[in-house]
Structure 1
Amino acid sequence: KSAKYDFNLVSNFHEPIAGVHEIEYLLVHVRSPPIFQYLLTFVRTWAQRVGLYGRVYGYLGGYSWAILCAYICHRFLSPIKSLSSIEQFSIEEFFSLVQQFFSTFAHFNWSANALRLYPKSYKQNTLAGRSLAQSRGSVRIISPSTPFNNTGRSTINSTRDLISEGFERVVQLLTTINTITSEDKWNALKQILELPHEFPSEKVKSILQLTLSSDSTDALHTWIGWMQSRLAHFLNDCEEECHLSIQTQSSIEYRSKNTEAFYSIGFHVDPQSLNQHRYFSYWLKQFLDQFNLFPQRTESMKVSHKIICIHDWKLERMQPKPQRIKK
């Protein structure tokens, strides 16, 4: 049975990959670009749905996920010699590729090793002096194109652990369900994409909620962009300077006809401890002061924050308020 029909049922596999110029450097490694596209679209959809996608929030961006998929295709996919062999690529073969993806990276030692996918022309001395660029970030996925930077440099230890846990959740899921027949495998792929986004996780005890508002949608988007551009430094400060474990929300919530937005960061300590944390208070103030430096800020652009417990955060979402939309 051809996988082409089943792919469209599971996700939008027919959509082309776009937006990353460096994708061309990966195609020489993937053995079959069409199958690589199917795998990447599946993995990208999963990462977005479970909240592990987005460099601005400390997770992996599209190019990093593409490198991971290229690595799996190169290792486990046989060379495709003709278009007919692509048409005959079965759901069983695709399921095996997906299974190898999650199993490989669930067992990868991200804290100690870097994942590399270099072009054939790569020479070891090419990386002389690049150790600093490669060491940034807790997940090290080295770009195969010059200057061979770490594409996962936005990650921190907390988000690295969440990504690893995401891989492990899929591996555990596949050990608890039948994957014998083609129908079983198709259902397993659907269940992977139906895994819930667990924010906040059970480890989170308090939430820092930011509220941004403006008098127009365009101004609010600009305001949010400024916040996102300053977020990485704050997340690093929370972990490196305050020694706090965190979980970042991977989306923005909109309300009041898209003129008000909310963004939340979860912490593994209770609100009282977080409020009394001297270093956290200092770095939070530094982060909030950055909003005053926005050169295009208008009087309608406002920002506020509060630290609340998980119970209150969830209770707010149960109240009959204007509908929130995640983007």
Structure 2
Amino acid sequence: MSTTDGYLGVTQPISTSESNEREKQVTVTLMEELRKQGTFESEEEAKTREIVLGHLSALVKKFVTKVGLAHGMSETAASATGGKIFTFGSYRLGVHGPGSDIDTLCVVPKHVSRDDFFDVFEDMLREQPGVTEASGVPEAYVPIIKTKINGIPIDLLMARLASPSIADDLSLQDDELLRNLDDRCVRSLNGSRVTDEILRLVPNVTVFRDSLRCIKLWAQRRAIYSNVNGFLGGVAWAMLVARVCQLYPNAIAGAIVSRFFIIMYQWTWPQPVLLKQIEEGPLPVRVWNPKVYPADRAHRMPIITPAYPSMCATHNVTASTQMIMTEEFKKGSEIVDRIIVGSADWSALFAKHDFFHKYRYYLQIIASTRSSDLQIKWSGTVESRIRQLVMKLEYVESLTLAHPFIKGFDQVHYCLTPEEIRAVAQGDVLEAVAKRKKEDVEGKEGATAVYTTSFYIGLAIEPKPTGSKGPRKLDISYPTTEFTKQVKMWEKYIEPEMGITVRHIKSTALPDYVFDEGERQPRSTLKRPKSGKDTDKSNGTSPDAPNKKRRLVQHPKANGHADSLVPLATHSASNSVSEPVVPTSQPLKTSQNGTIASVNPAATPATVEPTPPSNGIYTVNVKDPSQIKSPQLPFGENVAVATGVTPS
């Protein structure tokens, strides 16, 4: 917002000074590094995007006309009702890179319904030349159609205005357009309205774009760019960078990036010390709205959108993801300080994350189906619920961090037997299946393609107390069981066709596809506590050795389906034993003291069978929310991870 005092934002600038010579020098090297990193698309790709958007604009008008004719309008009247597309997100901001998707809003008149959008328009999309994908998710919080046209990925939203026609010169800036609209239309419009407001409120669009391009690349490389997984999404990063630009209106990109990291680290850590400054000072909380947004105090990192109605763009942030981002802000600040004084270069800021080297244990969540179109919807549904699993894990006693990775890994395997189908759905892919190609199974009876998307959560627990003896146990059966129940409550869930598996794996058992070529470290380089002994007393094996024996567990409900339709796996990983086990689907029980507990699991993938308590029940230790500790970073290399034994 522009104030009567002549400055942008809710407070006065911190400094109006011009950037010094050193800041100008590092800005030049920053832009060189961004080009070297491949963040700018080619001229050919830019032209392809323009052509695709032109075709899409014509298709939307054709769609509106078709629906009008179905409502009994004359052809002249139907074609006059119009329809228009607006871009938003990174493409509209001018910071998109090669292969980036285009966030696109389709604005239609009142006679076009949302059902028309997902039935009529989606079918029209599939019929267009160059369209290789078209999958709608009408039940999403912001309903969306994901498509790919001439190789350009596009996310399509729809907003239905309370108007009989859509003019070609329509602007979305007027708040009156929101009258009488349902919440989904308001949310869809918000993306475009917020993007336009950000561009209007920055003092220098070029500086803003250069700075944001740097921060986006950094956040992506450090694996903290994902709204759905509890980190910050594109609009939140854009608002933060825009706010720093407001605070230093005459600074150039190198200076903005340097000050960005300092401000972000001050804002996020430690919160209690800076609470008064956050509420009253020039730090970027309540980034745009000078009034207290009612939901601010319920959110960990409230960043409020500038367009009416103001919304919190960071409501997904959890205790764990805030911890992780805080540490990354600290590291980024230290690196940029070294760049400014000349002891480091910009490539150090863009170093790849170490997520798959950081923890000893991980949760693997596998969503599986037999259809590529169905897999997009099912895996998206599972991914949208992972944040809830992370929040449940945060309350488990001794678990200090549940770190979700920002994307899933898609794979297709071609199976010949029901046993292979179940194994793939559970993450146990035989070498023969992994090497098998589509042409190897064509024409063979019983051949089935199984589509899987695997998500990962890194787990860390508190260090073992000094002087304690014997293995420790961490029970996560309750969070994982509740998670599988929650995703299966999806209204379109079909058990024989959709699989969901949650299991623990050691870092040494991570699949090769999560690593870049040559990135995987030898097992001997993985650090562990120095105990003076090479074996784990609980089972006589090396604590970093992979499990050699794994029992496949079929979901009990899988029995009873027709033989021609082999159910995909559905089970959860587990629980409070010396090596984790796969629980059955038996219902949770309550112990005598009222604590939630799970039935003793029946099978274990470990090399030894655990000894259950005398009552056959494993207690789930859940933290009191008030007892959750502030983050203690950085994380120690010797932190043992949940569901496994802490080495002696």
TM-score by length of 2: 0.40
- Aligned to 1:317, which of 503, 512, 516? 512
CA distance in 2, matches of 1:225, 1:283: 20
- Aligned to 1:293, which of 474, 489, 509? 489
| 2:266 corresponds to 1:107 | yes
CA distance in 1, matches of 2:340, 2:481: 52
The match for 1:73 is 245
- For the residue of structure 2 that corresponds to 1:108, the secondary structure is helix
Q: Is 2:208–2:253's contact at 8 Å kept on the other side of the alignment? A: no
The match for 1:190 is 347
Output the amino acid matched with 1:254. Answer: D
Output the amino acid matched with 1:291. Answer: V
The match for 1:305 is 502
Output the amino acid matched with 2:316. Answer: S
The match for 2:39 is 12
Output the amino acid matched with 1:294. Answer: W
The match for 2:394 is 239
- For the residue of structure 2 that corresponds to 1:65, the secondary structure is helix
Q: Is 2:368–2:379's contact at 8 Å kept on the other side of the alignment? A: no
The match for 1:41 is 213
CA distance in 2, matches of 1:154, 1:11: 30
C-alpha distance after superposition, 1:284-326 (max 9, x if no partner): 211101232233334332121211233333xx4389xxxxxxx
The match for 2:296 is 134
CA distance in 2, matches of 1:205, 1:138: 28
Output the amino acid matched with 2:352. Answer: P
Q: Is 1:135–1:150's contact at 8 Å kept on the other side of the alignment? A: no
Q: Is 1:211–1:305's contact at 8 Å kept on the other side of the alignment? A: yes
The match for 1:268 is 460
Gaps of 5+ in 2: 1-24, 42-90, 96-101, 104-190, 279-284, 414-449, 463-470, 515-648
Flag the 1:23–1:177 CA change in 2: closer, same or farther, 3 A. Answer: closer
The match for 1:214 is 369
CA distance in 2, matches of 1:39, 1:157: 27
The match for 1:323 is none
TM-score by length of 1: 0.75
Q: Is 1:200–1:247's contact at 8 Å kept on the other side of the alignment? A: no
Superposition deviation, residue 175 in structure 1 = 4.1
Flag the 1:221–1:12 CA change in 2: closer, same or farther, 3 A. Answer: same
| 2:201 corresponds to 1:29 | yes
C-alpha distance after superposition, 1:247-268 (max 9, x if no partner): 1111111222682221111111
The match for 2:310 is 148
Higher RCO (C-alpha under 8 Å, 6+ residues apart): 1
The match for 1:86 is none
Superposition deviation, residue 243 in structure 1 = 6.9
CA distance in 2, matches of 1:146, 1:60: 20
| 2:406 corresponds to 1:250 | yes
Superposition deviation, residue 145 in structure 1 = 3.1
Superposition deviation, residue 5 in structure 1 = 6.7
Q: Which has the larger radius of gyration?
A: 2
CA distance in 1, matches of 2:225, 2:334: 21
- Aligned to 2:288, which of 106, 118, 124? 118
| RMSD (Å) for aligned C-alpha atoms | 3.1
The match for 1:225 is 380
- Aligned to 1:58, which of 218, 230, 243? 230
- For the residue of structure 2 that corresponds to 1:251, the secondary structure is coil
The match for 2:81 is none
C-alpha distance after superposition, 1:91-148 (max 9, x if no partner): xx422221111122123245344512226xx5x3xx4xx43x2233322223233343
- For the residue of structure 1 that corresponds to 2:410, the secondary structure is strand
The match for 2:3 is none
CA distance in 2, matches of 1:12, 1:273: 46
Gaps of 5+ in 1: 80-92, 320-327
CA distance in 2, matches of 1:318, 1:300: 25
CA distance in 2, matches of 1:178, 1:74: 21
Superposition deviation, residue 9 in structure 1 = 3.8
CA distance in 2, matches of 1:148, 1:318: 41
Q: Is 1:44–1:65's contact at 8 Å kept on the other side of the alignment? A: yes
Flag the 1:178–1:145 CA change in 2: closer, same or farther, 3 A. Answer: closer
- Percent sequence identity is 20
CA distance in 2, matches of 1:165, 1:290: 31
CA distance in 1, matches of 2:461, 2:331: 24
Output the amino acid matched with 1:174. Answer: V
Superposition deviation, residue 55 in structure 1 = 1.2
CA distance in 2, matches of 1:198, 1:135: 32
